[in-house]
Structure 1
Amino acid sequence: MSASGPKPASPFRQPKAVWAVAFACVISFMGIGLVDPILPALSTSLKATPSQVSLLFTSYLVVTAVAMLFSGFVSSRIGAKRTLVAGLVIIVVFSALAGASGGINGIVGFRAGWGLGNALFIATSLAVIVGSASGGFAGAIILYETALGIGIAIGPLLGGELGAISWRGPFFGVAVLMAIALVATIVLVQPTPKPARKASVLDPLKALRHRGLLTMGLMALCYNWGFFTVLGYAPYPMELDTHQLGYVFTGWGLLVAFFSVFGAPWLQAKLGVAKALYLNLTLFAADVLVIGLNTEHRTTLIVAVIVTGCFIGINNTVTTQAVMTVSPVDRPTASAAYGFVRFIGGGLAPYFAGKLADHWNLHVPFYVGAGVVVLGIVILSTGHRLLAEAERAQAADAAHHSASADKEDELVRQAEAEDLGSAT
């Protein structure tokens, strides 16, 4: 071992199956931001109010949240690979149906079906990546969040380009890309053995009895409230065309990706899990407040929206690691329980943002969003001791895998030296 200490294993040295699932994750997460550039166009073309259009997020995320409770039930009976395939098939079918729909109610309904497939895929894909990836637990989470960030970055760009042709374009685009991800998953991901114990639908709810998991879930609910208030309602006061909105949210998504991969590990190493989350959530709440104060000042509004990508990227990575570490249950159950709670916040926020704007003005949804994020900080503070325990566990995991990586490198060097000796 060198004097500078062990080198952490790279999160990007992975088996083909992990890359196949990661690619499917990229496409899946594209669906989050894909519709953002076309929200005003949908409102105009389908003669729907912004609060009606916001139901595209609400139906998608609320169904995703509830269906998370069933993901472990399904995967423990048919296996992880079949669950991934089933989720992808559902997304392909319902995204295509949304594109073929003739009215806002049909799109909202088909987005709900899309959310069902999304739940089966997201909960299972995280468990598959964590279980199959090389380079340790933290590296697997970084890889997963990298896929999330890339998907979020590309989604608005593709949505803007296809949406400029027709509002139907983004939905059909997802159907085609998800079909490609489906083929990659079928070909590259090996069947996994079914768990010895079949999970119950109630397992994720029972897991929430654990204070650490519940605390992190409620914090994430509040954070997602702010996140999806920005994502679901900020396009309206910008008053940009479809192309321009696509570029704005692509910039936002690139920051999500960069800070997920590089910013989060750096900040966590400097401050630790708890302090990193406190600082990040405080800055995020302040940024959402700035958005609320400047809905009539386009340049400031656009810059503030793009900057939220920094805080969202950091929070996604640090929180996911903390949740998986602090939970005493198996990771698929923890993922389902955490997803259930946090996606409720993401689903309700855009709908209530629309209602608040209808009753008051465009500033109020963002004021409320900032306040809910602050509430998340308060909730997080009640689990400070549990976060410290999670941090110690993460440090132990990182040290173990760093030592394993050093040993593997040493064996490779020895083998190369022996081969060289034999050759001479």
Structure 2
Amino acid sequence: MSADTASAPSPFRQPKAVWAVAFACVISFMGIGLVDPILPSLAAQLCASPSQVELLFTSYLVVTAVAMLVTGWVSSRLGAKNTLIVGLSLIVVFSAIAGASGSIGQIVGFRAGWGVGNALFIATSLAVIVGSASGGFKGAIVLYETALGVGIACGPLLGGLLGDISWRGPFFGVGVLMLVALVATAILVPPTPRPAQRSSISEPVKALRHRALATTGVTGLLYNWGFFTILGYAPFLMHLSALRLGGVFCAWGVLVAIFAVFGAPILKARFGTARTLYGSLVLMALDTLAIGLFPDRPGVVIGAVIVSGVFIGTNNTLVTTAVMSVAPVPRPVASASYGFVRFIGGGLAPFAAGKLVEHYNVHVPFVLGAVAVLAAAVVLSTVHRALAEADREESHAGPSQRRTDAEQAVRDTPALPEEAVLADTALGEDRVLGGDTQGRLSTNDHPRP
């Protein structure tokens, strides 16, 4: 063990401010799978069709996608801490009101407001952790990754436990936990100054004119279509109680977290970004197709859903890494653009699945999801050369790698916390479904020469 390694501070020895934001991150990431276990009971108790219940995903994710385009604009005017507080406040208010609602339409509407708050929070949380954490940038990333894994794995389990009591339970539970996080953030996180330079609201949209960014964004949209078809409609096929559904999706979430944090970097180092993604996307398409072929066999559906966590975790990490590797725009802009495109696919897929079942049969949405994921691999292949070049540059520490290392050194300097906040604002949204942060440490923030 080297002296540097031996003397490196533990990433879990952090100021109270960092723990406050990390706790809020855990609760925020719980929201990804929180409603899964209660979808069937919501449909039954509120006399709603599956497609109406699926609007819980659509309103949340589509609004989150659109809000991603303005999070940089907002945070550059309010400052990081104030943006966190606004986002957390919106989540507390709308989750509580959703729990008190009496119709599926009201819940869907308030879930959209929850999406706005979530976008503001997740786009800023990593920036605040980086600016406040001890042990440098890498220590902050370890802590953030840990919060992600705990949140994704525990969200469905909490939803199942509370949903077994009442469908209102998960909404009120999130409201209470987020209120605790809001108070802790307001008290423990020090004030952050507003950035000297304000972001333009049009930058993320203009960035989509770049072919590499648009192509990888479409790849994310397509595989998220398959991902959220599974996440949104599979619960109706398992015929389980809310508690048991929570257990199934907890197992799924554990695999998502493991492969997002550990599996994807190992596979990338062994096979490269492109080949790993081709294999993962093809296997995910087959897994989705298995549900489409055998939707009347709960054992097959349960197994396929759990196994899909392997591919979803890998894809989330490496597609995000690919976006940051090939996009010829600053990292926060690429992040917002990609989040907007991919969450549109994730938001529309569950609602479309419900409508396809109503008009055709239960096989169709999963077969379509499998085709969409397979199409994602085809679309990604059109930027194969750019992905291979990014891998070579990273492994050989080319010019952009050295430039990024220098920028990271600036971010790691304790005397310049605000630079860390500014440089990394809006990174957080790429980790909502498990995207990679470590991979972006070696990507190019500027156009290649």
TM bin (shorter chain): 0.7 to 0.9
8 A Cα contact 1:325 1:393, kept in partner: no
Matched, 1:182 2:187: no
Matched position secondary structure for 1:32: coil
- In the aligned structure 2, how far is the partner of 1:245 from the partner of 1:203? 41
- In the aligned structure 2, how far is the partner of 1:164 from the partner of 1:54? 19
Deviates more, 1:39-48 or 1:388-397: 388-397
Structural RMSD (CA): 2.7
Matched, 1:207 2:210: no
The residue number in structure 2 matching 1:68 is 68
Cα pair distance change 1:375/1:12, threshold 3 Å:
farther
Letter in 2 for 1:22: A
TM-score (normalised: structure 1): 0.87
Matched, 1:319 2:314: no
Letter in 1 for 2:65: A
Deviates more, 1:118-127 or 1:167-176: 118-127
- In the aligned structure 2, how far is the partner of 1:50 from the partner of 1:10? 50
- The percentage of counterpart residues that share the same residue type is 66
1:70 shift after superposition: 1.1
- In the aligned structure 1, how far is the partner of 2:389 from the partner of 2:375? 23
Cα pair distance change 1:282/1:20, threshold 3 Å:
farther
Alignment of 1:71-150 (within 5 A): 71-129=71-129, 143-150=143-150
The residue number in structure 2 matching 1:231 is 231
The residue number in structure 2 matching 1:252 is 252
Cα pair distance change 1:14/1:317, threshold 3 Å:
farther
Matched, 1:197 2:192: no
Matched, 1:362 2:362: yes
1:309 shift after superposition: 0.8
- In the aligned structure 1, how far is the partner of 2:113 from the partner of 2:209? 29
1:159 shift after superposition: 0.5
1:369 shift after superposition: 0.6
8 A Cα contact 1:60 1:115, kept in partner: yes
- In the aligned structure 1, how far is the partner of 2:315 from the partner of 2:34? 21
**CA shift digits 1:183-219 (9 cap, x unpaired):** 3322343333322221122111012222232222111
The residue number in structure 1 matching 2:338 is 338
Unaligned runs of 5+ in 1: 409-424
- In the aligned structure 2, how far is the partner of 1:142 from the partner of 1:225? 29
**CA shift digits 1:225-254 (9 cap, x unpaired):** 111100100000111111111111111111
Letter in 1 for 2:195: P
- In the aligned structure 2, how far is the partner of 1:302 from the partner of 1:136? 41
Matched position secondary structure for 2:32: helix
**CA shift digits 1:116-166 (9 cap, x unpaired):** 111111222244456666778787666544433321211111111101111
- In the aligned structure 1, how far is the partner of 2:35 from the partner of 2:249? 11
- In the aligned structure 1, how far is the partner of 2:10 from the partner of 2:265? 12
TM-score (normalised: structure 2): 0.82
- In the aligned structure 1, how far is the partner of 2:116 from the partner of 2:393? 33
Letter in 2 for 1:102: G
The residue number in structure 2 matching 1:279 is 279
1:377 shift after superposition: 0.9
8 A Cα contact 2:11 2:142, kept in partner: no
Letter in 2 for 1:93: V
8 A Cα contact 1:208 1:214, kept in partner: yes
1:39 shift after superposition: 0.2
Deviates more, 1:181-190 or 1:236-245: 181-190
- In the aligned structure 2, how far is the partner of 1:105 from the partner of 1:156? 23
The residue number in structure 1 matching 2:45 is 45
- In the aligned structure 2, how far is the partner of 1:11 from the partner of 1:68? 32
Letter in 1 for 2:370: A
The residue number in structure 1 matching 2:156 is 156
Letter in 2 for 1:178: M
1:382 shift after superposition: 1.3
1:338 shift after superposition: 1.3
8 A Cα contact 2:12 2:143, kept in partner: no
The structure with the largest alpha-carbon Rg is 1
- In the aligned structure 1, how far is the partner of 2:327 from the partner of 2:86? 27
1:65 shift after superposition: 0.6
Unaligned runs of 5+ in 2: 414-449
- In the aligned structure 2, how far is the partner of 1:392 from the partner of 1:380? 18
Alignment of 1:160-175 (within 5 A): 160-175=160-175
Deviates more, 1:15-24 or 1:311-320: 15-24
Deviates more, 1:238-247 or 1:134-143: 134-143
Letter in 1 for 2:97: L
**CA shift digits 1:339-391 (9 cap, x unpaired):** 11111001000000001111111111110111111111111111122223433
The residue number in structure 1 matching 2:383 is 383
Letter in 2 for 1:214: A
- In the aligned structure 2, how far is the partner of 1:62 from the partner of 1:99? 20
- In the aligned structure 2, how far is the partner of 1:29 from the partner of 1:259? 16
**CA shift digits 1:44-71 (9 cap, x unpaired):** 0000000000000000101111111111
**CA shift digits 1:258-283 (9 cap, x unpaired):** 11222112111111222221111111
1:327 shift after superposition: 3.0
Deviates more, 1:268-277 or 1:336-345: 268-277
Letter in 2 for 1:288: T
- In the aligned structure 2, how far is the partner of 1:141 from the partner of 1:316? 16
